[in-house]
Amino acid sequence: TSASTRSTAEWQAADAAHFLHPFTDFQALARKGSRVIAKADNLYLWDSEGHKLFDAMSGLWCVNVGYGQKSLVDAAARQMLELPFYNAFFQTTTPPAVELAELLAEVAPPGFQHVFFSGSGSEGNDTVVRMVRRYWELQGQPGRDVIISRWNAYHGSTMAGASLGGMKYMHAQGGLPIPGITHIDQPYWIEHGRGMDRADFGKLAASWLEQKILEVGPDKVAAFIGEPIQGAGGVIVPPETYWPEIQRICDQYGILLVSDEVICGFGRTGQWFGCQTVGSRPDLITFAKGVTSGYVPLGGVLVGERVAKALIEQGGEFEHGYTYSGHPVACAVALANIKLIREQGLVEHVRDDVGPYLAAKFEALRDHPLIGDTQTCGLMGAMLLAKAKTSAAGGPELFDPALEVGMVCRSHCFANGLVMRAVGDRMIIAPPLVITRAQVDELMGLIHRCLDLTV
Ligand code: PLP
């Protein structure tokens, strides 16, 4: 359906009349009217009025190869004609699902030879909950079922995903969290570590995991789950001391480590997976988004040797799966997407070229009067809007949250052709991996303009 078949006002009216949007205040949206995104190419979007936007968020952190990649489109069309759907239940399989499972085993960190497919990241994390608890049942320890996660984490919106997540506003609705999930604080220096040396803070934040394990009882803890770098929580890059210490604690107590790589996977941090960037050795890896660059939905869990061995050799039937586990069209698109990432060397492009280039530009941004701190990792970046660069408590002086400075900045971005997200007063970006240095310069120009308007 082309946007030009109706006027923008007609689209907005029909939208408000019928479409319940995710994470949206329906009345507020109806009053304001949605912005209708009509088409896209490379890093750019166009709305129904013909305005061009620089998409510094890769859609919703997913369009890693950028828009308009014909090889992905062709792969989908070819597969739809050949075999649009068949399931992987009841001892059947399909060639694209097999080939993708094989290719994922190649690009995954060492020790990951198996994959369980889902339709999304949330479902992938539901699978994680089932799988880690099944693992411990198979070890003869069914009481070992508690999963530790972190406050302000986002792990999806299903019952299990939202429970693993640590968004308190989500827990406030609909009876969350489900039993057996508990949270520790996130390694966010600005919130919890002011006045401390950052490396010491990393170790302190990791020690909260050990404290929680001891509080729950080491024989009751099944797993710890975390994103290498928290994305939707505000691109929180932990101190380098954090993940090695988390790994040491997981090893010491024998608990499974789950790396949620729905955002960090497929090149975003300058390695294929974020755990390789932060130096952790997870047992399970949740993925989605970048696996198909968002062209079609697909997610899943990469299953490391320890869990795979138990499931395969001891487990009998694993009573779990989705109609779309291994969907042939989604898998065909993922194959084309991963081939493109490889052929174009996009992971290396992020690691060696545009990632460091963006990091230098973000460091320079700290001179802007409105910026209190910046962080980047690969092509994830955050800038903290602050009232002053220093405060008595250590670190920058923050704005009164009631002023909603982040939302003010975001509306300037949206009006000036830039899609950048606000998480509180953290402005965050995650542009497509195909971004060039010239486009980083273009992005920085837009960011400066929007910051100047917000001051
Ligand atoms: N995990 C992380 C880290 C995410 O960022 C997201 C989505 O943003 C999810 C899980 C949920 O994925 P989905 O929206 O595909 O269900």
Atom 7 of ligand 1 has which residue's CA nearest to it? 156
Distance 121 CA to ligand 1 centre (A): 5
Q: The domain 35-65+345-454 is classified under which CATH number: 3.40.50.300, 3.40.630.30, 3.90.1150.10, 3.40.50.2300?
A: 3.90.1150.10
Give the global pTM.
0.98
Per-residue pLDDT tens digits of the chain, which is 455 residues long:
789 999 999 999 999 999 999 999 999 999 999 999 999 999 999 999 999 999 999 999 999 999 999 999 999 999 999 999 999 999 999 999 999 999 999 999 999 999 999 999 999 999 999 999 999 999 999 999 999 999 999 999 999 999 999 999 999 999 999 999 999 999 999 999 999 999 999 999 999 999 999 999 999 999 999 999 999 999 999 999 999 999 999 999 999 999 999 999 999 999 999 999 999 999 999 999 999 999 999 999 999 999 999 999 999 999 999 999 999 999 999 999 999 999 999 999 999 999 999 999 999 999 999 999 999 999 999 999 999 999 998 999 999 999 999 999 999 999 999 999 999 999 999 999 999 999 999 999 999 999 999 98
Distance 396 CA to ligand 1 centre (A): 30
For residue 125, the ligand 1 atom closest to its alpha carbon is: 10
Measured distance CA(232)–CA(428) in Å, rounded: 9
Distance 60 CA to ligand 1 centre (A): 9
Q: What is the 3-state secondary structure (H, E, C) of the chain?
A: CCHHHCCHHHHHHHHHHHCCCCCCCHHHHHHHCCCCEEEEEECEEEECCCCEEEECCHHHHCCCCCECCHHHHHHHHHHHHHCCCCCCCCCCCCHHHHHHHHHHHHHCCCCEEEEEEECCHHHHHHHHHHHHHHHHHHCCCCCCCEEEEECCCCCCCCHHHHHHCCCHHHHCCCCCCCCCEEEECCCCHHHHCCCCCHHHHHHHHHHHHHHHHHHHCHHHEEEEEECCCECCCCCECCCCCHHHHHHHHHHHHCCEEEEECCCCCCCCCCCCCHHHHHCCCCCEEEECHHHCCCCCCCEEEEEEHHHHHHHHHHCCCCCCCCCCCCCHHHHHHHHHHHHHHHHCCHHHHHHHHHHHHHHHHHHHHCCCCCEEEEEEECCEEEEEECCECCCCCCCCECCCHHHCHHHHHHHHHHHCCEECEEECCEEEECCCCCCCHHHHHHHHHHHHHHHHHHC
- Map out the domains of the chain as residue ranges: 35-65+345-454, 71-343
ipTM of the complex: 0.99
Look up the CATH architecture of domain 71-343.
3-Layer(aba) Sandwich (3.40)
Distance 262 CA to ligand 1 centre (A): 6
